[in-house]
Amino acid sequence: MNVRSLKLEGGQGLRFNDFAPLRGRCNGALFIIASGPSVNEFPMARYRNVPMIAVNGSIARFVDEGVEPLFYMCDDRGVAARKGLAVAEGIKRSANAALSRSAFNEVAKQNPHLLSSANLFLLERVNRSLGRAAMSDRRFAWQVRNDPDYAVEWSLFRQKPNRIGFSRNMANGYFNGRTIAYAALQLAYHLGFDNVFLVGVDMTPEAGQFYDPKGEVVPSRLGDDYADYILPSFDLMARKVVDSRFAVYNLSQNSRLPAKIIQKITYEKLDHLLTDI
């Protein structure tokens, strides 16, 4: 596997793998485990033989269940700073770990020994890739509007639509979508999975996260970003990416994401689908 390197803020070196060799290597079903309260309803042990991606603090559930994720993902420096132990556990417990440069900078501060792990990948924004000149969102969206590796919106008059997109090739970067679950969906597509099941993608910041202390709701930006970035990103994916080769289902019945965008299914339906895959 191709190995690249970069220097982090504190001067530490980071060697990381290229996503390209992993493209299309997988198939079948995949669970993406986020951190909404509905994660508590997910019988993880029952599905432990199905590949899973853990994001941010959801690794805590994997620790409790003794399950190893295929990937751990974190692209939020704030999460990496506040939940250093969780991020460290994600890197150690997962077969692979993909973090943003800012998140790796926090790992370098708190757990520098983990930078020598052989399973690391760098999450790069599509128009902010290492070693390439940064490009404006509008210019990038215009440039790749007909490129099959991407699905994008484009607007001459409004800036926000130019930030909405989906990358089918993680070697070329990803779209943030203001939620790590959306990054995980792009990774799922890149890896080649056919049926992706979302767990804990509730999008209800007022309800907190499953690992929050009882009676305490930790502040989140989900509410601020939902209308302008999160919902439009999932809507674009539903319109331009989901098809007979790539299906996405939501196991959170109370998710803020509308069922007309991401189909909500029961666990009974899930079991039927897994039987057919």
Query: Which has the closest alpha carbon to 105: 130, 127, 78?
Result: 78
DSSP 12-27: -EEEEE-SGGGTT---
Q: What pLDDT was estimated at residue 218?
A: 64
- pTM, two decimals, is 0.96
Q: What pLDDT was estimated at residue 206?
A: 79
Q: What pLDDT was estimated at residue 215?
A: 60
Q: What pLDDT was estimated at residue 219?
A: 64
Query: Which has the closest alpha carbon to 92: 54, 36, 35, 138?
Result: 54
Extended beta strands in 137-274, E state: 150-152, 165-167, 195-199, 247-250, 263-264
Tokens (6 digits) for 67: 């399950």
Where are the domains positioned within the chain? 22-276
- 239: Cα within 13 Å, side-chain hemisphere: 11
Number of CB atoms found within 10 A of residue 135's CB: 16
Tokens (6 digits) for 167: 């990358």
Q: What pLDDT was estimated at residue 20?
A: 97
**Burial state string for 194-228 with b = 16 or more CB within 10 A and e = fewer than 16:** bbbbbbbbbbbbeebbbbeeeeeeeebebeebbee
Query: Which has the closest alpha carbon to 117: 76, 78, 87?
Result: 87
Question: How confident is the model over 122-153, as pLDDT tens digits?
Answer: 999 999 877 677 899 999 999 999 999 999 99
Q: What pLDDT was estimated at residue 128?
A: 83
Q: What pLDDT was estimated at residue 158?
A: 86
Q: What pLDDT was estimated at residue 277?
A: 81
Low-confidence ranges of the chain (pLDDT < 70): 1, 131, 212-219
